[in-house]
Amino acid sequence: MTTDVNAPHVLEVEDLRTVFHTPRGDVHAVDGVSFSLAAGETLGLVGESGSGKSVLGRTVMGLVASGPRTTVTGRVRIGGRDVHALKPAERRRLWGPEVAMVFQDPMTSLNPVKRVGTHLTETLRRHLGCSRTEATERAVDLLRQVGIPEPARRMGQYPHELSGGMRQRVVIAIALACDPRLLIADEPTTALDVTVQKQILDLLASLVAERTMAMVLVSHDLGAVAGRTDRVQVMYAGRTVESGPTRPVFDVPAHPYTDALLASIPRLDNPPHTLLRTIEGNPPDMARPPAGCRFGPRCAFVTDQCREAQPEAAVVPGGRAVACHHPLSRSILEGAGDGR
C-alpha cells in the first residue's frame, strides 16, 4: 500500500490538460491532473459522468491526442517515454507490451465477425512475432488464465456466442497478451451484473498481484474502487479534488465533494425508507465551467473566496492532497492521526 519513493514509476502524469475545441466553445475535459504510479500499484479514478475520468484514461493511453479539434498539453510518461511526443507508429508499439486498456462495453470492443481466437493470435503475432502454432498455444493459455472454461473450444467461437462476463474476460485476455506493465481499465464492470462484476474485479486484482502490473481502475462505482485500489483520485469537472490512500480518503474524506458523494450512496445497513443525503444541482456544463472552485455552486460550505479563486491541491498529512479552500478540518486532523 505504501509507495516506495525510490521505485521507478511505470506511469507519470504531469499537469495533463485535454481540451476539445467544439462549436460551443473549448471544453476543458481534463484540466491539470498529475499523478504517478509504481509497479504493482492500483489507482482508482472515480467521479461522476462528465468528470473527465474516461478522457483522462484515454489521454494517458494516447488514444486521445492533439489534433485539429483536440489539444493535449502536459506530460504522460509510460516507462520513461513521453506518450504524446511519440510518432503514431511509435505510440502503437507502446500499446501492448507497455500499456493496454480494457473498455467498458465488452460487446463493442470485440470484432463481431472475428473468432475469439483470432483476436488473441492477431495481437500475439503482430507484437511478439509468434508463429501460428505458438500464438494459438499462448492464446489458449491466456484464456485459461482469465478463468474461461474449455478455452480451446472458446477459441473458435464468435463474440456473440459468449455472455457479457465471458466477453469481458476475453477482452482482459487480449489486454494481457503482451504482458503489459500498465493496465488501464475504463469502467470494466459497468455493463455487467453484480455477481459477474465481483468475479471480474477479483480477476483483475489477482492478475495485477501475479504480474506486478500497475493498474488504473476508472469507475463511477465507489464501492468497486474502495476494496481494490491502493490509492484513489476523486475527479470533479476535469480536476482532481482529492487524492490519497483509498481507505483513509473514503473513511474520512477531506473534500466536501468526496464527503457528499459517499453520503449519497445508499448503504446496505440503512433502515428502509432512509432519506439519502443529496448533492443539490447538477455537474457543470464543461464548455462554461463556473469561476473559482468548480464544485462551488453545489457546495454546502461555499464562500466568496471559493467563487473567485480556484483552489490548488494542498498536501495534507498521510500522503493525501485536497483541492479546497475549506477542507473538512475535523477529517484532516483525523487523517493526520491515520498518517502516523
Partner 1 sequence: MAGSGTAHLRPDQERALVVDDLVVQFPVTGGTVHAVSGLSLDLLPGETLGILGESGCGKSSAGRAVMQLPPPTSGEVRLGTVELTGIKARDMRRKRARMQLVLQDPVSALNPRRRVKDLVVEGLEIWGWGDRDRDSFVDELLSSVGLDPETVRDKRPHELSGGQCQRVCIARSIALDPDVLICDEPVSSLDVSVQAQILNLLEQARERLRLAMIFIAHDVAVVKNISDRVLVMYLGKTCEVLPSASLEGALHPYTRLLLASVPEASDELPAATGAPARAVELPSPLDPPSGCRFRTRCPLATDRCASEEPVLREVRPAQYVACHHVDESTEEV
Q: Does 260 bind partner 1 (CB under 8 A)?
A: yes
Question: Sheet harboring 70-78: ordered strands across?
Answer: 25-38, 9-22, 70-78, 81-82
Q: Which of residues 185-214 bind partner 1 (CB under 8 A)?
A: 193-199, 201-202
| Helix (H) or strand (E) run with residue 205 in it | helix 194-211
Grid coordinates given for 206? 489477482
If binding is defined by CB under 8 A, does position 277 make contact with partner 1? Answer: yes
The whole-angstrom separation of Cα 276 and Cα 130 is 55
Q: Min. distance of Cβ 140 from partner 1 in angstroms?
A: 20
Please spell the DSSP secondary structure of 122-162, one letter per residue. HHHHHHH---HHHHHHHHHHHHHHTT-SSHHHHTTS-GGGS
Q: Please give the DSSP secondary-structure letter assigned to residue 67.
A: B
Pick the closer one to partner 1 by CB: 56 or 65: 56
| Integer-rounded Cα radius of gyration of the chain | 21
Any contact of residue 286 with partner 1 (CB under 8 A)?
no
The answer to whether 9 touches 36, Cβ cutoff 8 Å, is: yes
Residues 149-178 that bind partner 1 (CB under 8 A): 163, 165-166
Does the protein bind partner 1 through residue 261 (CB under 8 A)? yes
Report the residue from 132, 267, 307, 330 that binds partner 1 according to the rule CB under 8 A. Answer: 267
Note whether 91 and 62 are within 8 A (CB): yes
- Residue 166 CB, shortest distance to partner 1, in Å, is 7
**Between 202 and 308, CB nearer to partner 1:** 202
**Number of residues in contact with partner 1 under rule CB under 8 A:** 47
Which of 89, 12, 20 is CA-nearest to residue 50? 20
Q: Is 279 in the site for partner 1 (CB under 8 A)?
A: yes
Does 123 engage in binding with partner 1 (CB under 8 A)? no
Which residues form the interface with partner 1 (CB under 8 A)?
A: 48-49, 163, 165-166, 193-199, 201-202, 220-228, 250-251, 260-262, 264-280, 282-283
